[in-house]
A and B are shown apart, each in its own frame.
Chain A
Amino acid sequence: MSETMLIFGGWVAAGLTIFLFSFLYKDNPFFKVTEHLYLGAGMGWVFQTVLFQTWKPKVWEPLQAGDWTVLIPTVLGLSLVTQFFPRISWISRYGFTFIMGYGSGLVIPLTISTDLLKQIGGTIAPFMVSEISRANIGSLINGSIVAIGFICVLFYFFFSVEHKGVVKKASNIGIYFLMLYFGAAFGNTVMGRFSLLYGRFDDLYKYSAPKYFYATHVILAALVIYFVVDHFRKKKPEIEEEAA
């Protein structure tokens, strides 16, 4: 990549990042431009991905190799496009029916496997020890706490039973377990998000170097000037209106 293109890329990256962050202050035309650019670029990316990673290897190339069976799913998929033509939109139902049936067939056994068997197997796994000794008593207690918490959480999700008496007490304990988990998940995800933020800040710092002609500084200053001018430009008519 040439040096000019590298500098241009740095300005675009810094500009788009700052324009998107500007939404934290308030909505503005720079954010709108970036938003629509992001939307368009995202759609373009998805389109080329579908074209080159699905249509070409899964439809075009098999057809060229003489595998005509790929026409069946292709026609079913194309039937969805008939939604745009009200007179023949009924054809799309065949495609949708297939998608729903296929999806259910795939999901139901998987749900039984993951939500029931793996869940039960995972919860009772700590009790599968070679012997009960001092060495593993800690893991057995830990396993017992997890099993009790698991059962209490399930009590909270009972819908066809009124929550009163023992059920209410168990479901309240379940809520504490849930909140513990959600708190841990929240902290974990926030840490992940901060690492993404640091990544953007790192890039902005990189583009603030003389090599990029202080892209970050210049764009940031220009945006601040815009907000100041815009603030006074919008305030003026209000004062005039009040005077009138």
Chain B
Amino acid sequence: MLKTRLNLAVIAVFLAVSSVSAAAPASQKNDLPKPDFAGFEAKDMPYDKGEAVLLTWPAGAADVPGALYQVYAAGADGVWVKADEFPADSRFAADFDLPFWAWKHDSTLHAMQVELPSFFKDFKTGQEYGFKLKYVNGKTSAESAEVKAVAAANMFNLARLNNLVLLVVTIIVFFWTVSHAKRKGLFIRRIAGLDAIDEAIGRATEMGRPIFYSTGIGGMSAIPTIASTSILSEVARKVASYDTQLKVPHFDPIVMTVSKEIVKQAYTEAERPDSYRDDINFFVSQDQFSYAASVDGMIHREKPAACFFIGHFMAESLLLAEVGATTGAIQIAGTEQESQLPFFFTSCDYTLIGEELYAAGAYLSKEPMLLSTLKVQDFGKAFVMFAVGAGSLLLLAGTWFNWQPLLKVVGHIFKAY
């Protein structure tokens, strides 16, 4: 009897021990750390146009290699869509490409941006969407509660504060230089290409041949086109006073309309409104190579004494300038397109390089307002030179002495967001 009881006790102890030892791994498995979803939040992504939502949750011990986060999103129909999946030890707030003044680079917080139009074809700004997170690590998994957020368009992009500061400084400097130019006048260095305008118009007058002026293929909002129209004004004024023939073939109808007004005004200022004709400016084509082929044909047949190619030019630059060169015309070109400048160098007598084109209006007219814009540009260049010099030295110092905050600050200040 005693022996039987003893055997039963041994078996019971064995079973108990084996059940405990069997239960131990299971409880150990369940004890794998799980993420803290209590801090899981969804809110509108700041500084965007209203198509993204920002998801944040605290990083923790669960973010081990091999573990994954899965992000799900649902629209009004309640159908969950898998938006993303990524390793648990990635996607932190510290990784966001935003400047220090607009974003807290926190490495203890997970953050990710969900671009809603990528997952919902019927996406509308202002509509509410649901989000949930799933954590998977082998057989261990956890799911957050659903959180909701609305993507809204933001009026102000704080990340571009450096851009705004520079703009405000530029405006202040501009007004200061305008007043300075009016009071004392401003010096401008000689620009050979612009001095040659008189020579070109004089040659056309002597030869009795027309002058061709192309404003390029840019629209009216393009800065080179605006600069070109200001040069056209000066050319037209001189053409009117010499009573020479001017032809301005256009690519863009809006530029043509503006140019018409400018040329008309120039003829009036030269006291030759009777010489003005409406067909000085004429539309050719809005197709790049059709325009080039047609203007080439005109130049070849009419054999102008002078050709001006000033404005925004692309592949048609050489097509136009080469034909002009074969006719023996004196050619003055100017563009901001660096890739086209070599072609103008090879086929034109004078070439205005980039900024020289913008300086032309002020150089020719000597108006205080325009002169001051040149001065502002020079201040801008001086600022850039200083920034490049100082920025390079600061970055080298930051690397040498391992000052990470300095590297971060300099890098963010001189970055366009």
Binding site for B on A (CB under 8 A): 20, 23, 27, 31-32, 34-36, 38-39, 41-43, 45-46, 80, 83, 92, 96, 99-100, 102-104, 106-109, 111-114, 116-121, 123-124, 127-132, 140, 143-144, 147, 150-151, 154-155, 157-163, 178, 181-183, 185-186, 188-189
Contact = CB atoms under 8 A, between A and B. Distances in A.
B407 interface: yes
26 contacts: A20-B293, A23-B300, A27-B301, A35-B294, A39-B294, A42-B286, A43-B285, A43-B287, A46-B285, A99-B221, A99-B254, A103-B222, A112-B167, A113-B163, A117-B416, A123-B388, A124-B387, A127-B399, A128-B395, A130-B399, A159-B191, A159-B355, A159-B374, A160-B186, A182-B345, A183-B342
B348 to A, nearest CB: 13
Interface string B286-316: 1101110110110011000000000000000
Contacts of A123: 388, 391-392
Contacts of B253: 80
Nearest 3 A/B pairs, CB to CB: A103-B221, A42-B287, A42-B290
Given A39-B287, A189-B342, 15 more contacts: A31-B297, A35-B293, A38-B293, A42-B289, A42-B291, A113-B160, A116-B384, A121-B416, A123-B391, A123-B392, A127-B392, A151-B385, A151-B388, A183-B342, A185-B342
B142 interface: no
Interface of B: 160, 162-163, 166-167, 170, 186-189, 191, 219-223, 253-254, 257-258, 284-287, 289-291, 293-294, 296-297, 300-301, 338-339, 341-343, 345-346, 353-356, 359, 363, 374-375, 377-378, 380-381, 383-385, 387-389, 391-392, 395-396, 399-400, 407, 410-411, 414-416
A154 B384 contact: yes
Contact of B223 (A20, A45, A107, A131): A107
Given A128-B395, A154-B385, A96 B341 contact: no
Contacts of A127: 391-392, 395-396, 399
A120 B387 contact: yes
Given A42-B289, A185-B338, A80 B254 contact: yes
Most A CB contacts (10 A, CB to CB) among B170, B189, B219 go to B189
